[in-house]
Amino acid sequence: MLSLQSLNWSSIKPFPINPRNPAFWRLLSTSSAYPDSIPADYSDSDDSQDSISGRPNNFSGHKIEETVALDSAKLRVDSWISSRINGISRARVQSSIRSGLVSVNGHVISKVSHVVRDGDSVNCTIAELQPLRAEPENIPLDIVYEDDHLLVVNKPAHMVVHPAPGNANGTLVNGILHHCRLSTVCFNPESLPDNIDDDDSIDEATVFPSESSVRPGIVHRLDKGTSGLLVVAKDEHSHSHLAEQFKKHTVKRVYVSLTCGVPSPVSGRVDIPIGRDSNNRIRMVAIPGSALHGKARHAVSRYKVVEILAGGGCALVEWRLETGRTHQIRAHAKYLGIPLLGDDVYGGTKHMALSQLQSKNSSSYYGQIHQLVAKLERPSLHALSLGFRHPHKGEDLHFSQMPPFDFAEILDCLRNISSEKV
């Protein structure tokens, strides 16, 4: 069996062909085998479906009539209402406010940013749920494996997995509906978590059309900027079975990334809880000890440096996750002081990359450094390997897909400056 160490990392090179051509992605694949030596690991998001199946009803018509009690001087009304209804998304609350269903001290408000203070009287009715629609679209998909029950897709960077407010078209689900020859899907947007400012940081969602024979279900997801492998179920049995594998942590996955700087030590285990950043709703943050106070969720990542690049200005790092939290790799990388190259949300900005690379290399390389930094358009993160048990056949399936053109091109530029295998 192939081991991760035996993968030919030096073969990750840019190809002089169109990276949007599906044939290009297949050229980069080295093997469909998943290494036996790699333990189970989990995605850079919450993979268990429990948080969906265990959610409350859709909250339509839910009412609250309460007096605000705050320790602080003030709070946004959408934040306060969200805190009073367990499990509701902020987007759902905001929709109710904009629909004129919220009043403060007897006056209807329309601004979601309206500030409430201690002693204010709030009356709120949650608006009826408006279903989201997903239309089939003829979007080229790089399908690594397919049978009657599931398919494995190599998702390109910049593609959103499923429709959400602000991302109604061009998603993986739209492409799968066309591929499976299915009609329009209407699904409950309450199965989608908070989507503030059209962020793509979605934990997970189950998307099922009304057809009873073939119903593609998203079992897990990758962030918009992340490339790589994910599995899609075609029927409810497959979806349920795969979701259970995620829940039991038996799905095997490995990620690789390019980081700003080199972690010290070069391998380790990060056991730091992750929660929503109170100052930025689209970002997660690693907060030591916060899980004890219910403000974050237990999160553990293992990492190992594969290659030190550009004099230590960057590193090729392998990640294996013991838990699956939203943006876990990105948040833990930031906590380690090595944000992912190109990850603006978590500090891996072009300015950061430029500063880091120039500080580690002589001025003779500055021209090359400027050129490679200019190519950064997304977090340098790729879902390299995926392994799971087939929900109907019971056999173990293993897949590996090397990083795409943009990742490989930047890696090649960094190697041209210097490279040291670890």
Which pLDDT score, from 0 to 100, does residue 203 have?
A: 32
Do residue 284 and residue 402 come from a single domain?
yes
Distance CA 204, CA 248 (A): 16
Q: Is residue 53 part of a domain?
A: no
Q: Which residue among 221, 248, 275 closes a domain?
A: 248
Do residue 29 and residue 161 come from a single domain?
no
Which pLDDT score, from 0 to 100, does residue 66 have?
A: 93
Which pLDDT score, from 0 to 100, does residue 145 have?
A: 96
Do residue 356 and residue 240 come from a single domain?
no
pLDDT tens figures, 101-156: 999 999 999 898 899 999 999 999 998 876 667 788 999 999 999 999 999 999 99
Do residue 39 and residue 67 come from a single domain?
no
Which pLDDT score, from 0 to 100, does residue 258 have?
A: 98
300 pLDDT more than 80: yes
Which pLDDT score, from 0 to 100, does residue 276 have?
A: 85
pLDDT tens figures, 9-37: 555 554 333 333 333 233 222 222 222 22
Cα 51 to Cα 8, 107, 234, distances in angstroms: 38, 35, 21
- Calculate mean pLDDT across residues 291-314: 87
Instruction: Return all residues near 111 (Cβ < 8 A) that are at least 6 apart.
Output: 97
Q: Is residue 52 part of a domain?
A: no
Catalytic status, residue 50? no
- What is the band of 166 on the pLDDT scale with cuts at 50, 70, 90? low
Do residue 221 and residue 171 come from a single domain?
yes
Residue 112 lies in domain:
59-125
Distance CA 401, CA 419 (A): 22
97 pLDDT more than 50: yes
Burial pattern 179-204, b for ≥16 Cβ within 10 A else e, equals bbebeebebbbbbbbbbbeebbbbbb
Distance CA 275, CA 284 (A): 5
Tokens of 285: 């943050």
Which pLDDT score, from 0 to 100, does residue 38 have?
A: 30
Please pick, among 223, 235, 343, 406, the residue that the annotation labels catalytic: 223
Residue among 206, 216, 147 at smallest CA distance from 181: 216
Q: Which residue among 216, 232, 248 closes a domain?
A: 248
Residue among 351, 418, 413 at smallest CA distance from 14: 413
- The pTM of the full predicted model, rounded to 2 decimals, is 0.71
Q: Is residue 54 part of a domain?
A: no
Do residue 225 and residue 287 come from a single domain?
no
The average confidence (pLDDT) of the chain is: 79
Cis peptide before 265 (omega within 30 of 0): yes
Which pLDDT score, from 0 to 100, does residue 282 have?
A: 82
Q: What is the 8-class DSSP label of residue 130?
A: P
Tokens of 82: 């969200």
Report how far Cα 288 is from the mean position of its chain's Cα atoms. Answer: 22
Do residue 163 and residue 274 come from a single domain?
no
Distance CA 402, CA 408 (A): 9
